[in-house]
Amino acid sequence: MTLRQLRYFLSAIDLGSFTAVAAHMHLTQPAVADQIRQLERHLGVQLFVRLGRGLRLTDAGAEFAVYAQRVIAASEEAEESVADLRTLRSGTMTFGAFGAPAHYQFADLIKEFVTRFPGIKLRVRGRNSSVTADDVREGELEAALVVLPIDDTGLSVRPVARDEVLFASADPASTRQPVSVEDFVRRPIVLYETQYAFEDPTRRQLAARTQALGLSIEGRIEVEHLETALQLVAHGLGNTYVPQAVTKSAAFPGNISTCSFAPRMYDAFALITRRGSRVSAPIAEFMRLVESHMRLVASGFPHGAVQQADDPMPAAVRG
């Protein structure tokens, strides 16, 4: 039994005669008929009843057609997988990321990818996760790495890693023990991500906690970038929150100390694609590298289980 025979068989069902199959495939009618006869001999059943110039499926033929379609579909999928691999040799791909991928050593990740696939032109577009999720949902991006929570309507979400969100202050005495959100909002605050405000996933987590206490977050100062917020904190103008990965940077101000929130709070990172879509081979390979990279770089990844917040997993307190 061959794929050619199965294709002739299925085409005969669709077109209604061997003559029509032959014309469609630029073959002779006897060649098509001979392949079908060989298939029938191999199976030991009659697949068609010949009716003049037309054909009618037998019960055995109808049953066999179901499995023949599956075999052909599987063979086509296998061919597409090889074609996808060929696309890793050239082309351009755009991947979405949360607003500050540099804090998670994305340069090292990009270097690894372009070294392995020098023919691929790579664009990594970093925006706030709420906007990046919209771009994936609308088809502007095939895939992205975002910080949860997001609106997941129409999206497939696969959590991959997390990083603890820490309280940051220029006053060492205030970081000697974990800080409650209630204490946090009662002190001067420097907020960042002004453009997105409470669309920002981390701010949404903080807002959810404060709302549960009947409180709200109000910034003494609001700026766009985390780096600016940290400079202001270093000048003693307020406190802020910061992902643990940022505290490992050489640029992190030396007079700022950090501690955990009580209960602990985490940024959870997830890979997202449009629900039901199939991403291209370059994007699939980059997603694989992103997941592996984030598991190594983020501060905490408990053996495959990712929670968005309030997880009791121990983490070091930087003082």
Tens digits of residue pLDDT in 46-104 = 998 888 778 889 999 899 999 999 999 988 887 776 565 566 666 778 999 987 788 88
List the domains of the chain with CATH numbers.
3-87 (1.10.10.10), 93-297 (3.40.190.290)
Q: Region 171-182: what's the mean pLDDT?
A: 95
pLDDT at residue number 34: 92
Q: Structure tokens of 212?
A: 């549960």
Kindly indicate the confidence band of residue 307, based on its pLDDT and cuts at 50, 70 and 90. very low
Query: Do residues 188 and 174 lie in contact, with contact meaning Cβ atoms separated by under 8 Å?
Result: no
Summarize pLDDT for 194-222 with one digit per residue, the tens. 887 878 888 888 989 999 999 988 889 99
Rounded to two decimals, what is the model's pTM? 0.64
* pLDDT score of 79: 75
Q: Given this model, what pLDDT does residue 163 score?
A: 92
pLDDT of residue 83: 61
Locate tokens 């992902």: which residue? 243
pLDDT of residue 121: 86
| Helix residue ranges per DSSP H, 235-314 | 244-247, 281-297
pLDDT on residue 85: 53
Mean pLDDT of the chain: 86
Structure tokens, 102 = 């540099």
Spatial separation of the C-alpha atoms in residues 51 and 58, rounded to whole Å: 12
| Residue-level pLDDT at 100 | 78
What is the average pLDDT across 225-246?
A: 94
**In whole angstroms, what is the distance from residue 190 CA to residue 74 CA?**
56
Confidence of residue 314 (pLDDT cuts 50, 70, 90): very low
pLDDT at 237 over 90: yes
Q: Which of 147-156, 199-208, 242-251, 297-306 has the lowest mean pLDDT?
A: 297-306
H helix or E strand, kind and range, residue 15: helix 3-15
CB proximity list for 136: less than 8 A, separation 6 or greater = 96, 142, 143, 144, 155, 272, 273, 274
The pLDDT tens digits of the residues spanning 115-154 come to 988 888 889 988 889 899 999 999 999 999 999 988 999 9
Helix (H, G, I), strand (E, B) or coil at 318: coil
